[in-house]
Amino acid sequence: MCTFKFDFSQVYWNSRLCTEHERIIKLLPEKAVLFDVFAGVGPFAVPAAKVRRCRVFANDLNPFSFHWLKENVRINKVANVETFNLDGRQFIREQLRPFLLEQPTDSIHVTMNLPAMAVEFLDAFIGLLDGMESQSPYTPDLTVHVYSFCQDSSGTSEMRAKVESHLKQELLDEQIVQVLDVRDVAPKKHMIRLSFKMPLTVLLATTKSQVHQHQAQQEESESKRIKLDSDSSS
């Protein structure tokens, strides 16, 4: 049993996601490693450490979420959790990369529960181990659980297309672990989770140009969106 403490006025919490939190915890092997990119107040991180005895790296950019994340780690007395207050991409590149460079044999899981934009952060995995192929044939056991909103409750193809678009690579059928309709937000807005094995070819991609190009495209799209919003409100 885990206890959570937070201020509803400062952070996001949805009790309807408790079942999904439990599903992920059950998927984690005992003493696995969890990187929680958008940890919030710790609904994945704390039980993973306490119940499954995982080593956990938990991150959230929101300073209020980060505060309550640390507090929930403390009140649940879990010592095997490291907390970070970083941008999601920065967290993946500065914390996951050096961990993978140590070539761990552990089962590593990454949760990305920010359905409004989590898939956009998948580009941080491109080239994460660039250059490592010259050192050894190491293949990490890396499973990613990423969430997004889709129009169809059986949005397997839609969700898969989103993930592949941001990874800049197609996934093989055998790399798909699970696609799940987590909950219905609205008639044509479903929260979908895609769990997949991260392809080694993504991690070893020659990336700097790919990542910079992709980020430039995102910035251009965001700039256009802001301009459209501005024009429509004027």
Question: Where are the chain's structural domains?
Answer: 15-206
Instruction: Check residue 215 and give its pLDDT.
Output: 55
Q: Output the six-digit token pair for 184.
A: 């219905």
- Quick: pLDDT tens for 176-231: 999 998 877 777 789 999 999 999 999 999 745 444 545 555 565 565 455 545 54
- pTM of the full structure: 0.84
159 SS3 class = helix
Strands of the sheet with 176-186, listed across from one edge? 81-84, 55-59, 33-36, 107-112, 141-150, 189-197, 176-186
What is the CATH architecture of 15-206?
3-Layer(aba) Sandwich (3.40)
Going by pLDDT thresholds of 50, 70 and 90, the confidence category of residue 154 is low
Comparison of pLDDT for 4 and 118, the residue scoring more = 118
Between CA 225 and CA 120 the distance in angstroms is 16
